Amino acid sequence: MSPSLFSPLSLRETTIPNRIGVSPMCQYSAVDGVATDWHLVHLGSRAVGGAGLVMTEATAVAPEGRISPKDLGIWTDEQATALRRLASFVRDQGAVPGIQLAHAGRKASTRRPWEGGAPIGPADGGWEVVAPSEVPWPYEDHESPPVHALSTADISGVVDDFVAAAERALDAGFLVAEVHAAHGYLLHEFLSPVTNRRTDEYGGDFAGRTRLVREVTTAVRDVWPDDRPVFVRVSATDWLPDRDSWTVDDTVRLARDLADCGADLVDVSSGGIHPEQELPDVGPGYQVPYAERVRTAVDLPVAAVGAITTAQHADALVRNGRADVVLLGREYLRDPYFTHRAAYELGRDAAWPPQYQRASRR
C-alpha cells in the first residue's frame, strides 16, 4: 500500500508517527534567546493536537544570528535548558521534536514584524550584521546598515557555532536537527549569486557558493547521533528570473550533494533573498512542484510547504508521491488541532491524548 498522511515515516531509527509537521515559524517572543512559556504552549499545543513532527522556529546559533533581539537562541547552556522542557513535553505527547538551527546573516538585527521590522543599529540595542559580501539588505523605507563581509576565519567560526548549537540541541532532547539554508538568511546568502560576490573558495562557481552549506551539514551530521535525522531547509528558487540567481536546477544539484553530506531530508521552500522577488500565483500548494522536482531527481525524502490548508490536499501529496512530509505553518496558527481534524475528515485513527478522547468519537 502507498503511504498516506497518517502512515509513519522512519528516517534512520527515528519514526515520525504521521506525515504532518509544524513548520518553523518565528514567534519573536524569547528573552535573551531563552524560550518562555509562550514557546512551550505554542509548540506543546500542536503536539497535543497530533502533529507528528514539531519544529522550533529558526533558533539562532550565535547572538548576531538572530533576526530580532527577541529571537530564540541556542548559543548558551541556559537557552538549551529552557528548550529541554519544551522538547520533553513534545515527546511526551508522542510527537518528534525538531529544532531549526539558523543564522540570519544580513537580515539580522531588526525590530519585530509587528513593530515595523526596521533595522536596529548597535547604539539602539542591535548589532553589526554579517554576510558573504558587503551587499546589505535593501530596506525600502530605511537606510540599510553596513554589512561586515565574513573572513575565512569568521566562516570557520560560523561552522563551529552550528556544531556547538547542534550539541546543545542534542543535550536538550531534540530528535531532528534542521540546518536553515533558506529565506535569504546567511547560508542562503552564500548559495545565491545575488548576495555572494566572493572570489575565494566560498564564492564564484557553484562549488564555491555551496561550500559553506555542505560544510555545515557535514559538521552537524558528524555530531548528531546516527539514529537521528538531519534535515536541510532550502529555498528552491530566488524568484528572480531576470538576474543571475539561485534556481531550481541549482537546488536539485545541491540536494545530491547534501545527500552525500549525510542529510536525510530536504525541506523545500523558496524565496527570501531579495524584496524584488517575482512571486508566482500564491495558490494552494504553490511551492509543492519544487519539492516534487527534488524528490523525482534525487533519492532523498522531501518536505513540501506552502498554502497547504486541507486534509485532503495534504493526504493527496503523500499518496501521489509528491512529498514524504507535509509541513504546515499558517494553518497550524489558525488551528493547533489540525491533525486531529484531518484524521476525523479522512476517517483515520489518530492518537488523541486521553484527556481529549471524548471528542474523538464520531
- Using the predicted structure, report yes or no on whether residue 95 has a pLDDT greater than 60: yes
Q: What is the pLDDT of residue 361?
A: 67
What is the Cα–Cα distance from 89 to 54, expressed in whole angstroms?
11
Of 281, 272, 209, 213, the closest CA to residue 239 belongs to: 272
Rounded to 5°, angle at Cα 105 from 102 and 106: 150
Cell representation of residue 317: 501529496
Contact 150, 134 (CB under 8 A): no
- Using the predicted structure, report yes or no on whether residue 264 has a pLDDT greater than 70: yes
- Using the predicted structure, report yes or no on whether residue 63 has a pLDDT greater than 80: yes
Q: What is the pLDDT of residue 351?
A: 74
Positive/negative CA dihedral, 177, 98, 157, 250: positive
pLDDT over 90 percentage in the chain: 92
Q: How far is CA 80 from CA 56, 61, 75, in A?
A: 13, 11, 8
Contact 66, 128 (CB under 8 A): no
Mean pLDDT of 257-270: 98
Rounded to 5°, angle at Cα 90 from 86 and 94: 165
Show me where the domains of the chain are located. Answer: 9-359
Tens-digit pLDDT profile for residues 123-147:
999 999 999 999 999 998 888 999 9
Q: Report pTM.
A: 0.97
What is the Cα–Cα distance from 318 to 43, expressed in whole angstroms?
24
Is 185 one of the catalytic residues?
yes
Tens-digit pLDDT profile for residues 191-220:
999 999 999 999 999 999 999 999 999 999
Residue 337 identity (one-letter amino acid) = Y
Which class is domain 9-359?
alpha beta
Q: Band the pLDDT of 362: cuts 50, 70, 90.
A: low
- Using the predicted structure, report yes or no on whether residue 286 has a pLDDT greater than 80: yes
Residues whose CB falls within 8 Å of the CB of residue 141, separated by 6 or more in sequence, listed in order: 118
What is the Cα–Cα distance from 50 to 33, expressed in whole angstroms?
27
Q: What is the pLDDT of residue 159?
A: 98
Tens-digit pLDDT profile for residues 13-40:
999 999 999 999 999 999 999 999 999 9
Q: From the candidates 185, 202, 290, 337, which is the catalytic residue?
A: 185
Residues whose CB falls within 8 Å of the CB of residue 125, separated by 6 or more in sequence, listed in order: 69
Mean pLDDT of 39-50: 97
Q: Which H or E run contains 161?
A: helix 152-172
